[in-house]
Each structure stands twice: as structure tokens, then as C-alpha cells.
Structure 1
Amino acid sequence: MRYTYPLLRPQREKLLDRIPDILLNHKSNAEERLFSLLQHVTLAGHWTAYHSLNLSEHEYKRWGEIDFLIVGPEGALALEVKGGRVRREDGIWTTTNRFDRTSHLTESPFDQAKSAMYALQKRLRDHHPLECIREKRLTWGWGVVFPDSEWSDDTPEHPPEIVADSGDMNPERLKAYLERLLDYWRRKERSQTTATRLDLDEFRKAIRPDIDTYPALSTRVGHANIGMQKLTDEQYDRLSIAEKNERIIISGGAGTGKTYLARTMAEREAAQGRSVLFVAFSPVLAAHLAKQISHRLINVHSICDLNNVDTAADVLLVDEGQDMLNLDAFETLSKSLVGGLEDGRWRWFMDTNNQVGISGAFDPDALDYLRSAGSVTELDLRQNVRNTEEIVQAVSRWTGADIGSSSRAGIGRKPRLIPVLSPTDRITSLSSLIEELLEEGAEAEQIGIVYPREFEFDRNEITDRRLRKRLSPLDVVTAQADLRGKILHGTSADFKGLERPIIICLGFDDPDMLQDPADLYVSTTRGNYGLYMLASESLVTRLVKLGA
């Protein structure tokens, strides 16, 4: 007798949520079509469609992926999407695109969907002990979608209930497929349980950071081999608020992810068809961002280069905005934005801790003027996503700045103070420290040397020719270069907005600079994990008293 389960309590049908809600980096037109269709599908209860879920712990793949994961009260369904004309002949799977190019698939789409589902289940069990998983309140299943092909291979191995083809590519047919797929797996598992709304919220928190990911502003400046970064809950919140408001001021200390969030906002604005102007004060930071951002609707410039911009943009993103808080900068920026600062759509990121005066010109009345431009929403960032807790605490004690609470506590080393007696001793200590770091396994491109604006650093003073050749100045050219094997060095002004895993601060000799700690603040907040300070004995003594 065919098993049937009791009817679930009727729930009002709602449109599926989609995460992300904007398709930023799709791999195929087939996925794009399905993503667009899903926004018109309604299901009973609260359902969410997650697109492109990364699986770093796949059983036999180094990096797996679920194209779409559909999750709601009755279950979680992993969908594998295969575009083009899909065929299986003598056990060999092929797909042919619209240009008539045929590719062999290394794995059956059905096996891909199944193995990816099991990989996600395992990761959730191992790393996210969710109650709905432990109590088996979610029914798990998988399916395959062929948006461009008709599918007729109805076999026990490939039951028709788990397949959607080109005939299902409209909202009503797709809705029917998802209901059919869910019914198939619930009957197969003889499931009578459902997940609560709280269960679904916890599930979303556990997996969302592996979906809403964006190319990182690499710690290896100019390095082509970039990784991925994940938005924090705080950044998700700010992103959501910003998308509903025309004019936003976002304040945060060094390391709170302002540049990364600004870049994410720019990508999302462009994905909606808006032209974006991304402006930084520093030509070095602008060059670095221009290298990292390649969207055709996003233009990156330093403010001194805006005279070369002919067309006003739909959206303005300003990074390191504290350097542009003056009326001259406002006038230049207004000309480059549709509607100007008073009526246009803009996002202004800034840090007023101790960075004012490093670059640009600051007019205290300018911030009041900016706040009065139309209806402005002000937000802040409190979570430090760059520096370890050890660096955060040291910077706070040395400069009095609040740079948020670290999300990297316990990962790094305690900052190290190295007293130097003379210019010669400084160079000797620097050479020895670099050699020590390299011997410990650090890569050259993970190290940065930062010094005050007025300090003159001459790499030719380093006697070791091999080490000297590793050093490269930070400028507009090197910010866009492939710097593998190179140690960047530059002033605090050059390094603004940038970072390295290991930072060596050099040339900090005057104890009086604690009265105006702008250079110290910027320099010491560039490092992710390691911070080394080569300073005069008198300054080291002062810093130790403040708490090293």
C-alpha cells in the first residue's frame, strides 16, 4: 500500500524569499533563468531559495556547490541546474550549449545533487548543531533541473518526480515541480515533522555567510589570487538598511570593514542596472580598488581625478570620506552625481577617530552640511573584522581610539615593541625581523612596512642585496601589480584603506606623536594578525606604560 502522511496544517501561500536577493555572479544563463522564475513562485508557509551555496567540506571534491537550496517548514531541497541540451549515452553525460559546443560532464547531475546534499547535511551536523537537524524536523531531498532540455528518461534511477525540464519553466509549473519533489521525499522518508519559523531563522543564520560572499579586498595588495570574504550580521543589517534609503553616512573605526562593505554595496547597485561612481581620496587606494572591481557599471576614481569623469553616475560611493569633508570636495562630487549631494543617491563611509589630518582637508562645518542634505540616514559599524583582539586592545590603549570589538580574538600574536638606538640600529633590526618572519613561514607578500608621512625610508640602506630586492614601494603602479614575493612599504597616507597580515611600523621615534596619534593610529591598524613596532626607546617606554 502506498504510504501517505497526514495533511499538514494549511498555511497561507507566500512568495519565496531569495538569498541573495540580487544575482551578482551567476555561472550560467540557466541558473539566471531559474533565479528569475523563483521570485514569482508561491508556496505554503515561509520558504527561502538560497543560490550558489559553497561546500568546502565535500566528501570527495575540494570545493562543491549547491546551485539552489529550497528550504521551508517541510523540508530542504538541493537542486542541481544543468543548462544546454543534456544527454546521457552509454553512461556518458554531455551538455551542448547554444553555440553547439559539447562538454563532457565528469559526474551525473543526479549524483552531483545527491552528494552535495549529503555534504551540507554533514557540515551542519558537525559545525552547526541546529535543533531542527538534530531532531530531524526537516525532510531532506534533491532534484535536477534542465531548463533548456526535455527529459524523458524515466527510470528507477532517475524518477520523474525529481526532474524539472524546459516544460516546467514558468511560475505555475515550477511551483508544481517543487511541491511534487517535496511530496516525493516526504513520502519516501515517511516524514510527518515540520520545522518552526525559529528553526528556519537559525538555519538561515548558519548557511547565509556561505552564500552572500564577494571577492575579497585581498590582504595581498595587487595579488591576483584573491579569496572570499563573508559579510557579518552587522554588515548584512547595514546593507539591508542602505538599500531602502537614498543617502547614507556610515561611520566606523579602522578595521570595521568600511571599504569591503562599500564595495559590496557598489556591486549590488550595479547589479540592479545603476551606474556607480566609487571615489577614494588616495590615488593609491583608488588604483587598488580599480584593479579589484571589474563591473562595467562601476567606475573607480580618486577625487583628484574626477575632472576626467564626463557623465554623472546614478549612485555615489565615497570611501575614506573623512578626507573629503570640505566644501570644495562636495562641489566636485555633486557634479559627478545625478541629483547632486542634496537629491542624489549616495553612501558616505568615514572614520573620524584619528584619521583626520592624514590626507585631504577637513572642515568641521562640512559634516553638518552633509547631514542636512535631504533625508540622511546615519549608521555605524562596531565589529572589527580586520584586526585581532590583541591589536585592537593595543591600538585603543596607545591612541585612545575605539576601533570596535574584534571578531578575530585569539588568532594573532601580542604586538611586539622593539626599541632602536639609532638609524643604523633601526635598519639592522628591520632586516633581522624580516628574516625572522620569513624563517617562521611568512610569505614576503604578507608583510607590509608602514612609516609616518614625514619619515624618509631608503631601502638602499639595507645591506643584504637579496632582502633589498624584496622591498617594493606602495604607489599607484604597485597597487595594481602582481606583488608575489614582494614586501610593500609606504607612508601611513599611502596605506589608508589597505592592509597586510603582518605590519612592521618603522620610524616612530618622537614620544610627542602620542599627542597627535594620527600616523600611529593608521599604521598600527593595517595589520590582520601581527604587529611589530620599531621605535625609539623613549616612545617604547611610553607605550609600555600605556599597556603593550
Structure 2
Amino acid sequence: MILVPDLTDIEKNATSDAERRIARLLREAGGDPDAVAFHSVKLRSHAYKQQAEADFVLLWKKVVIVIEAKGSGIRKHDGVWYSIDRRGDWHKLATSPMEQAQSAMYALQKILRGEGVGWFAHEAAVITPDIDTPPHSVEWQPTHWLSRSDMSIAELSRALDTIAGSAQKPPADRKLARTEDLRTRLFGHFTRMPVIDAQRGAVIEEQNRATAGQARVLASLARNPRVLVFGGAGTGKSLVLAEAAKQEADQGKSVLITFRSPALRDFFAPHIGGRDIDLLPFGLLEAAKTYDVAFVDEAQDLMTAEGMDKIGGVVVGGRGAGRWRMFLDMNNQAHVDGHFDRDVLEIVASEALSVDLDLNVRNTRAIVHMVQEYLGADVGDPGIVHGEKVRWRTVEGDSDLSGAESVALELVADGPAPKTSGSSVPDPVHHRKKRTADSS
């Protein structure tokens, strides 16, 4: 099963050992090749909390299952629920674990219903891996509370089948959610996309959630063996590539990320740290080694017969039958650092699913509009990053890199403009011959 985030991140960030153990089993659970599990998700629209958290949200055999995980002991005494830690201390709970799972399920249902997704089958479950006998109640089905005896790959898979099999059948008069739409929405709500500091090569923060386009691409990558991803500069292609590569590696596949420019190694390395993923510039690929899945960044600069043959040689099954993902920018970046053959692209496109990234997540609206107007490049729709309007700065003589750097240093020293109309994010510098566009 695909885990989002991958097991490496869950092992590092999970708040309890119970969650880590459950995640390990979920990753190996069999029976549904399209299954996906999202860990530690935030849910707004909660019935009595401004925001609640579900330990796991699963899509298993077209049924959404919300899971509450509780380690150590659980007991109900005089109508009040308690958790019992490893030292034997009792801690009062506001509600039963099942009620927590159910309320989180209702919150998720409300969110997706408000987005027009349609009716979908859903269930709530509890997993308490440290107790032998789960508590029984007329308020829930015994099959929906799993305990120590269910903590094996086979038993957990069987239990999930039972839970999914008991889900309510769709009402005759309701609009039904398409499974692919449901997957995409879940990827969008619960995938956290990183922002990387280009200078230090470190992950410095995470966006609130993946954009709709990024979610659609991630969902497509999870289900299709060969995918072409098209997007202009700033639409997040490389970030999506890295997230998808981690998911593939988490499934035990051998993974390659390749690119023409060796400098991209420094971009990818901090984001995939700790994973068994090979980062190799295209010029260093060796046909003697093959991979279960290959990711190609800036593939427009490798789109020649020779280049595509080389990619096919390092993928198990070859380019026509293997598993690969190519990310392309078909704007002014094509031809810059390599060669490009449109006939070869048409052949490659016939072998794969094509998807688009169309929202710019890096540059401000003002910069996006300026680039589109002056360069004619499609760098996505502006909608994520706000900022000051573009200002042009005239320079004497021909502009050069040192001139642009001096403007950039001045802007950094001045800092961003005070927040006035919902924006305090500075625009990047655009340095052109005879005049320079800048924004504070």
C-alpha cells in the first residue's frame, strides 16, 4: 500500500510507536493494488473542534476508512474512557477511541461533500495493537476494533476487507463519487509539499497542502506505469517528482532520478535523504544497471532518439513496457541545455499517460504575468504566491549578471514591504538589457 508520507517520514514524525507499527503493516498489506494510506491528517469542519486529527485515512477497495490508533491500554470505567500508558498511569479521554474515529470520518465526509465530490462509502475503525481483547459495545461493530491478534500483514489485510465489505451500499438517489476523483481529492488534502531553500539545499517548510494539479499528478503517478508530466517553470514539477520517487522507493522498488544538469543533484538530495534512490546525471547512466522505475527531470532536454533509447536501457522492461515518469517544460526552456526532437516526443507520448501542472507555486502573480507578457512562456496560472507589483529599473549600458546581483542584494537588504493588502512576499528580480524589473 502507498503511504503518504512515506514510511521514513512516518517513523521520524509519528507521535506514538503504535502508529509506526501500524504504518509498517499497512505498507505491506495486500489485496488492493490501488490502496493508499495517509498518516496524521488534519481535518477542519470537525463537529466540536476547530480542527481535529485522524491517525490514518485509507482508501481501500473504494471505501474510505478513518482509523484511530491507540497504544498501550484502553479501559472504560464508570462511563469514562481512559488510556493506560506503559507505566500503568491512567489518562482520561474526552470520548471513546471509536467516537474519535467516527467524528473524524464525519468531518472528512463534510469537507468532501462541500467540494461536490459526491457520495462515497466510508467506515471508522480503531486499532489498539497492545491489547488482547478489544472492548465490545452496541455502538460499533466488533469487526471495526482491531487488537493485538490483528497485527500481522495477513490479518490486517483480512480485517480491512471485512470493514470495507460492511460499508453501506450507495443510495439510489445520490450522486456517487468517482473513485479517481476521490483519490485525487485525498492526495490534495493530505499531501504536504516541501519548500526547499535553494541556497542551503534544505527543506525549510511545507505548503499547506498540494495544489489540485499536483494532487492529480501524484494520483496519476501512483496508478500508471508510464507518465509524461508537462508544466512550466515554477509549477512544482521537481517537487512532485521527488515526492513520487519517495513513494516508489517506499514500495521496495529500485528508483532512479536522472537529469541533464548535474546541479540538480543538490536540489534533490536534501529532499530524498535517507531513501534508497539513485541520483545520477544523464551523462553518468550505465546500461549495465537497470531500475524498477526511472524519473527524468527536464526531459525536454533529453528528447532525442539517442536519449530515449538510453532511458529505455536503464528501466526494467524497457521504455515501451517499463515504469518511468518524465517531467517536461515545453516553453522557452526546451532547447536551452540540450536537443529536442518533436517526432520523438510524439512516439514517447503514445506510450504514456500525459498530465499537466498548470498552477505556478513559486513566482508571484506579478512576475508570472510579466514573464508571460514579455517572453510568451506559459509558466502556469498565478494563484499561490502574492507579492508587490513589478517595477522596472533602468541601467546604463548593457546589463550583466553583476548588475542583477547588485539589485538583488539591495532588495534583500531592504526586506519585504509591509503587509498591506494581503501580501508581503517579495517578487524575484528580473534583469534585462537596458532596464531591470524589480520589486521590494
TM-score of the two chains, using structure 2 as the length reference: 0.69
Matched residue type, 2:196: S
* CA pair 262-52 structure 1, distance change in 2 beyond 3 A: same
Distance 1:114 1:245 in 2: 37
Secondary structure of the structure 1 residue equivalent to 2:83: strand
Q: Residue 189 of structure 2 aligns with which residue?
A: 210
Residue 472 of structure 1 aligns with which residue? none
Q: How far has the Cα of 1:109 moved from its partner?
A: 9.8
1: distance between equivalents of 2:103 and 2:252? 37
Report the TM-score, using the length of structure 1 for normalisation. 0.58
Partner of 2:352: helix, strand, or coil?
Answer: strand
Give ranges in structure 1 of 5+ residues lacking alignment.
1-17, 41-47, 97-101, 184-191, 448-500, 512-519, 521-530, 535-548
Identify the match of residue 33 of structure 1 among 18, 22, 25: 25
- Give the deviation of 1:293 after TM superposition: 0.9
Cα distance in 1 between the residues matched to 2:59 and 2:227: 33
Relative distance call for 1:289 and 1:107 in structure 2 (3 A) is farther
1:509 pairs with 2:433: yes
Match of 2:271 in 1: 292
Structure 2 residue aligned with 1:146: 128
For residue 261 of structure 1, what is the aligned residue in structure 2?
A: 240
Shift of 1:419: 2.3
Q: Which residue pairs with 1:377 in the alignment?
A: 352
2:379 equivalent to 1:403:
yes
Corresponding residue for residue 227 of structure 1: 206
One-letter amino acid matched to 1:150 = D
Asked whether 1:24 is paired with 2:6, we answer yes
C-alpha distance 124-418 of structure 1, shift in aligned 2 (>3 A): farther
- Out of 37, 51, 55, the residue aligned to residue 42 of structure 2 is 55
**Residue 68 of structure 2 aligns with which residue?**
80
Confirm whether residue 129 of structure 1 aligns to residue 108 of structure 2.
Answer: no
CA change 1:159–1:270 in 2 (3 A) is: closer
After superposition, residues 20-419 of structure 1 pair within 5 angstroms as 24-25=6-7, 27-33=19-25, 39=31, 51-52=38-39, 54-55=41-42, 57=44, 64-68=53-57, 78-82=66-70, 86=73, 93-94=83-84, 108=93, 111=96, 114-115=99-100, 117-118=102-103, 121=106, 129=114, 142-147=124-129, 149-151=131-133, 153-154=135-136, 163-167=145-149, 169=155, 196-198=174-176, 207-211=186-190, 213-218=191-196, 222-228=201-207, 230-239=209-218, 246-294=225-273, 296-306=275-285, 311-326=289-304, 329-330=307-308, 333-341=311-319, 344-358=322-336, 360-362=337-339, 364-365=340-341, 367-369=342-344, 371-372=346-347, 376-377=351-352, 379-381=354-356, 383-386=358-361, 387-408=363-384, 411-419=386-394
Q: Shift in Å at residue 119 of structure 1?
A: 5.8
Structure 2: how far apart are the matches of 1:269 and 1:421? 52
- Contact preservation (8 Å) 1:420, 1:426: no
Describe the superposition over 1:136-174 as per-residue Cα deviations: whole angstroms up to 9, x where unpaired: x99998542224531255579999686332446466665
> For residue 30 of structure 1, what is the amino acid of its counterpart?
I
The structural deviation recorded for 1:389 is: 3.8
Per the TM alignment, residue 254 of structure 1 is displaced from its structure 2 partner at its CA by: 1.7
How has the CA–CA distance of structure 1 residues 107 and 219 changed in structure 2, closer, same or farther, with 3 Å as cutoff? farther
What SS does the aligned partner of 2:343 have?
helix
SS class of match (1:433):
helix
Which residue number in structure 1 is paired with residue 15 of structure 2? none
Separation of aligned partners in 2, 1:227 and 1:23? 12
What is the aligned partner in structure 2 of residue 436 from structure 1? 414
Deviation at 1:277, TM superposition (A): 1.0
Describe the shift of the 1:296–1:433 C-alpha distance in structure 2 as closer, same or farther (beyond 3 A): closer
Note closer, same or farther for the CA distance 1:103–1:310 as it changes in structure 2 (3 Å cut): farther
- Once the two structures are superposed, residues 500-526 of structure 1 have per-residue CA deviations (whole angstroms, 9 ceiling, x without a partner) of x742234x2258xxxxxxxx9xxxxxx
- State the Cα distance separating 1:318 from its structure 2 match: 0.9
Whether the 8 Å CA contact 2:193–2:239 is kept in 1: the answer is no
Structure 1 pair 347–353 and aligned structure 2 pair: CA distance change class (3 A):
same
1:353 aligned counterpart, secondary structure? coil
2 CA distance for matches of 1:333 and 1:327?
A: 10
CA contact (8 A) 2:58 2:66 kept: yes
After TM superposition, give the deviation of residue 313 of structure 1 in Å.
1.8
Distance change (3 Å), C-alpha of 1:163 and 1:318 = closer
Closer, same or farther: CA 112–286 of 1 in aligned 2, 3 Å: farther
AA at the equivalent of 1:270: A
CA distance in 2, matches of 1:354, 1:50: 38
Classify 1:370/1:343 alpha carbon distance in 2 versus 1 (closer, same or farther; 3 Å): farther
Closer/same/farther in 2, CA of residues 196 and 440 from structure 1, 3 Å limit: same
Identify the residue that residue 395 of structure 2 maps to in structure 1: 420
Equivalent position amino acid for 2:132 in 1: E
Amino acid at match of 2:360: V
SS at match of 2:275: coil
In the alignment, the residues of structure 2 paired with residue 354 and residue 138 of structure 1 have an alpha-carbon distance, to the nearest angstrom, of 43
Q: Distance in 2 between matches of 1:143 and 1:510?
A: 65
AA matched with 2:352: T
SS in 2 for 1:292: coil
**Runs (5+) with no aligned partner, structure 2:** 11-18
Q: Secondary structure at 1:282's aligned position in 2?
A: coil
Q: What is the alpha-carbon distance in structure 1 between the residues aligned to residue 381 and residue 349 of structure 2? A: 32
Deviation at 1:348, TM superposition (A): 2.1
Separation in 1, partners of 2:113, 2:255? 38
Measured against aligned partners, the alpha-carbon deviations of 1:83-122 in whole angstroms (never above 9, x if no partner) come to: 5x535599863466xxxxx797977496555346546656
- Would the aligned equivalents of 1:214 and 1:264 in 2 still touch at CA under 8 Å? no
Could you say which residue in structure 2 is the equivalent of 1:497? none
